[in-house]
Structure 1
Amino acid sequence: MPVYVYAVTLGDHPCRLDGVSGVGAGSAPLRTVPAGDLKAVVSDVHEEVGPRRRDLVAHQAVQDRLLEDGTPLPLQFGYTAPDDDAVRQVLKEQADLYLGALERVRGCVEYNVKASWDEEHILRRILEESPSARSLNEQIRAGTDDPRLALELGQYVADEVQQRHSDAAAGIIDTLVPLAREHAVHAPTGEDFLNLSLLVARGPDGEGALQVAHADLVGDGETGVEIRVAGPLPPYSFVG
């Protein structure tokens, strides 16, 4: 029977899965497939699993429960195998790879850091701090007939916003990355100018230090930068 695979853990992970439902319409019970020093967390599936909200939530709930007792290797949503034997065979064949990856994230969790800048705030700062932008803006507001001034101001502001975003992102990275065992910078989306993942040791030296650093970064409300930290999370960004 096909099985849905949620994560790989060390063989001594307790895998306390009581009360957690699996993906799929039937919500089949969760169980483990052991293989040497490893085991996989799986459930039977009777239909193709798609990115429905219920199944996405169920997938993440399993990862969160496993994370309570030790860092698992979370698989991306949608991974299935033909049966238990196929899962066991992969665990045996790739044992060194999985064990190395588990050692890499042992005792750690992922934190995701995103940053955005209030558009009105940054535009106001540019006009206040840049004589060139202020002069162009004043000429436009005075009713100039030269259409090139609006284009020039628009390009100047766009370039300035990009540079300030780059500088702000670099400052946040320089502050937070030393607190992590590893980091990964992702392409930001939407209004964000930074999307940073950190592999952080559990406890005061890792998570605690990150919380203090985050508080220090957001302490100056005059910057207009919003820094959002999500976690602890399963280490999706560090399982490759």
Structure 2
Amino acid sequence: MTTGNPTSESVARAALALGRELTPEQAAGLAAYLGLLESWNRKTNLVGPRSWPEMLSELVADSWHLADLLESLDLPEDCVTFDFGAGAGIPGLPLRVFWKTGRYVMIEPRAKRAGFLRQCAAMMRLKGTEVFEGRAQDVREKADVCLSRAFQPWREFLETSRLYLRSMPGSAAEARCGANATQHDPGAGQPGRKSAVVVFSNEAQPEAAVPEGFGAAAITAYPSRGKTGYFWVFAPSICSS
């Protein structure tokens, strides 16, 4: 089992074997993250895989596929993304190596894990990447993108996301959802601004009806751990009370 101090070169070779060619900057960022994750994991059991090559193939690789998806969405250049239950930084930390748009906020209530996220973000030199140490309900701003890897079941996560997504000014949606948007978020309520909810899934499509106020915008398949994973993308339509 390969462990300890992954280099940019070794990470680049391992990623290439998984079908991804990395730039030197991307390889260096992932090497820094994987080295820290493997070191911390020996003491705090952050993730299941024990060696960095396993972490790369079983966890990190999903993030570059997510980056491709986010790049394809019609999102504002200054978009704000909330990553709920950031935990060990999957998908957020490796994602920001590939997708650097706007601000990315990792929400994590556990102090030790929040400290790990901050250390990683600093070592990886990730710009526009923040850690909110606290519960999701304590966040007092709005986002353009809400992400969940395994924070809540998908229908429950859509209900949670309803509280955080931006809405358009003077619209029926804003009037009905009306809660605390523009008070804490100067970017909220801009006409034409797009929002999205992205959920990781093992299933090809939702097994139940999408809650009122959302529509299924896209389903994208990607290779994951020798199987097929899916990103479900939901777009807000009209909020319901």
TM-score (norm 2): 0.26
Structure 1 or 2: larger strand share? Answer: 1
Structure 1 or 2: larger helix share? Answer: 1
- Identify which of structures 1 and 2 has the higher relative contact order when contacts are C-alpha pairs closer than 8 Å and 6+ apart: 1
Structure of greater Rg: 1
